[in-house]
Chain A
Amino acid sequence: MLAALGWVLALGLALALGLALMGWTRRRAARPARLIATKTRPDAIAAVRPRHWSHALLWLPLRRRAGRGSALLLLLGGAAMPALAASPWADPAVQGPGLAVLALLSLPLVALLRQRLRQMHSPWQAAGAALPLAARQLERAGAAVALLPLLLALPVLAVTLAGVGARALPALLYGLVLIASSLIQALASNDEAPATRAMRWLLCAALLCATAWESVPA
């Protein structure tokens, strides 16, 4: 009972943190753009240092308006996924559903993040065609970022499954299917036929639900 309360509290805190961050980012974005520079710093360019392209095309956009939606999703996903991965601690009755919800959340989260990052990168891919920067590198980096919430949840999930005495083989299968399906989702082409995508989603969802329920002891 106490564990269940703790879990609910953790989930509530994670949600509150996510909502507070969302509100803060919205307020920040609503401020009028500062068109007049208050201070010019000629020295700012005297210290030019080569930086990896990911700083300009991944890290900085996520902190600014260009990638605000993706950053919010990352924050919410990064909070929700580990919380769900820890859910089997709460109550033996929610172990199976908790794992299933984690898996079923992972797929749309990765898909949505991937789509938003592609939208963010598309004008830069066109502009970067004349730069020594391979479009494939941007694609891969986007896929890696989309998988971040799952990567955060995986260690929590491993500890949780070991802690609650999950059945080894189904739990291993669950973990493998979760990783594989999210990876395929992150790397899937934008031009994939809707029917193929729907079939893949259904198959992954069925496999994940089945292995989630089988993983926890009856």
Chain B
Amino acid sequence: MTAALLSAEGLSFGWPGRPLFRHWSHAFGPGLTWVQGGNGSGKTTLLKLLAGALTPAAGTLRCRGIAAHEAPLDYRRQLFWSGAEPIAFGHLKPAEYFDFIAGLYPTLQPQALPGWVEALGLTPFLGRRIDQLSTGSGRKLGLCVALAVGTPVLLLDEPLAALDLRSARVVSQALAALADDGSRCCIVTSHEPLGSAEARAQRLDLDALLADGGYSR
């Protein structure tokens, strides 16, 4: 039995008029976890809760023993969330964004970045500001950072959406490598097949957990 890197204990959260999680507990171990569910099932909400971007009504989130409510900054330093939305810091150029993230995450591996930038075909766009990038290029930029950031936990929301075939293959291979990594935990939501990573991923089906309009376990 491997120790959990990230755990939710008695998590409760809901949107107005729509309870989602009721005293929900789950432990995420090393490797790849694929969160599945239909549209609106709460996959993105779950990732945002785990990332610390949303505050649960009740319950405790712990990452490597650090409780989110006790030391929020230390907790968030343990994980990196790459959302499906465009990167908000549109005024920055990619290199400036990397510098910014490197300042926040001491674990970032700068030497890994050029490789991911090249593999995802971002090199021609390095001179542009983030708000001048296309949706796909913006996603690739977020993924480059996510794959190089080196945090123990990665939270990737629809990482394959809006990517070209070549880049999707690169990301699938990266996910497969993360699935075999015994020291890191990667939680992914995706409607797309995960390719080579699929067979190695543990699945968490939110639709199967649904009971009385909310998830509880």
Q: Which residues of B contact A34 (CB under 8 A)?
A: 128, 132
**CB < 8 Å neighbour of B96 from A47, A60, A126, A133:** A60
Q: Kindly state the separation between the CA atoms of A125 and B62 in the bound complex, as whole angstroms.
A: 23
Asked if A37 contacts B98 (CB within 8 A), the reply is no
Closest CB in chain B relative to A28 CB, distance in Å: 14
A123 within 8 A of B: yes
Q: CB-defined interface of A7-45 with B at 8 Å, one 1/0 digit per residue?
A: 000000000000000000000000001110111111011
A197 within 8 A of B: no
Q: Kindly state the separation between the CA atoms of A5 and B133 in the bound complex, as whole angstroms.
A: 53
Given that A51-B100, A56-B96 are contacting pairs, would A42 and B118 also be in contact in the complex, using a CB cutoff of 8 Å? yes
Q: Which residues of B contact A134 (CB under 8 A)?
A: 72-73
Q: Kindly state the separation between the CA atoms of A41 and B95 in the bound complex, as whole angstroms.
A: 10
Q: CB-defined interface of B102-133 with A at 8 Å, one 1/0 digit per residue?
A: 11111010100110011000011111100010
Q: Kindly state the separation between the CA atoms of A123 and B126 in the bound complex, as whole angstroms.
A: 23
B84 within 8 A of A: no
Enumerate B62-108 residues with CB–CB distance to A below 8 Å.
72-74, 76-77, 81, 83, 87-92, 94-100, 102-106, 108
A1 within 8 A of B: no
Asked if B102 contacts A51 (CB within 8 A), the reply is yes
Most B C-beta atoms less than 10 A away, residue of A37, A123, A124, A131: A131
Binds B, one of A61-69, A99-107, A187-195: A61-69
The total of chain B residues at the interface (CB under 8 A) is 43
Q: Kindly state the separation between the CA atoms of A39 and B106 in the bound complex, as whole angstroms.
A: 30
Asked if B124 contacts A40 (CB within 8 A), the reply is yes
Q: Which residues of A contact B90 (CB under 8 A)?
A: 66
Most B C-beta atoms less than 10 A away, residue of A45, A55, A126: A45
Q: CB-defined interface of B33-55 with A at 8 Å, one 1/0 digit per residue?
A: 00000000000000010011110
Q: Which residues of A contact B92 (CB under 8 A)?
A: 56, 60
Most A C-beta atoms less than 10 A away, residue of B48, B98, B105, B117: B98
Asked if B128 contacts A48 (CB within 8 A), the reply is no
Closest CB in chain A relative to B137 CB, distance in Å: 11
Q: Kindly state the separation between the CA atoms of A123 and B90 in the bound complex, as whole angstroms.
A: 10
Q: Which residues of B contact A42 (CB under 8 A)?
A: 114, 117-118, 123, 126
Q: CB-defined interface of A134-177 with B at 8 Å, one 1/0 digit per residue?
A: 10000000000000000000000000000000000000000000
Q: Which residue of A lies closest to B92 (CB)?
A: A56
Asked if A40 contacts B53 (CB within 8 A), the reply is no
Asked if A53 contacts B117 (CB within 8 A), the reply is no
Q: Kindly state the separation between the CA atoms of A50 and B132 in the bound complex, as whole angstroms.
A: 24
Q: Kindly state the separation between the CA atoms of A41 and B118 in the bound complex, as whole angstroms.
A: 11
Given that A51-B102, A56-B100 are contacting pairs, would A37 and B125 also be in contact in the complex, using a CB cutoff of 8 Å? yes
Q: Which residue of A lies closest to B94 (CB)?
A: A45
Asked if A127 contacts B88 (CB within 8 A), the reply is yes
Asked if B73 contacts A129 (CB within 8 A), the reply is no
A46 within 8 A of B: yes
Name 19 extra pairs, CB < 8 A, besides A34-B128, A35-B132, A128-B88: A33-B132, A35-B128, A37-B124, A38-B127, A39-B127, A40-B124, A45-B110, A45-B113, A45-B126, A48-B102, A53-B100, A55-B96, A56-B96, A56-B100, A57-B89, A65-B91, A126-B88, A131-B104, A132-B105
Cross-chain pairs A/B with CB under 8 angstroms, 7 sampled = A41-B126, A44-B95, A53-B104, A56-B92, A60-B91, A65-B91, A129-B54
B interface, CB within 8 angstroms of A: 48, 51-54, 72-74, 76-77, 81, 83, 87-92, 94-100, 102-106, 108, 110, 113-114, 117-118, 123-128, 132
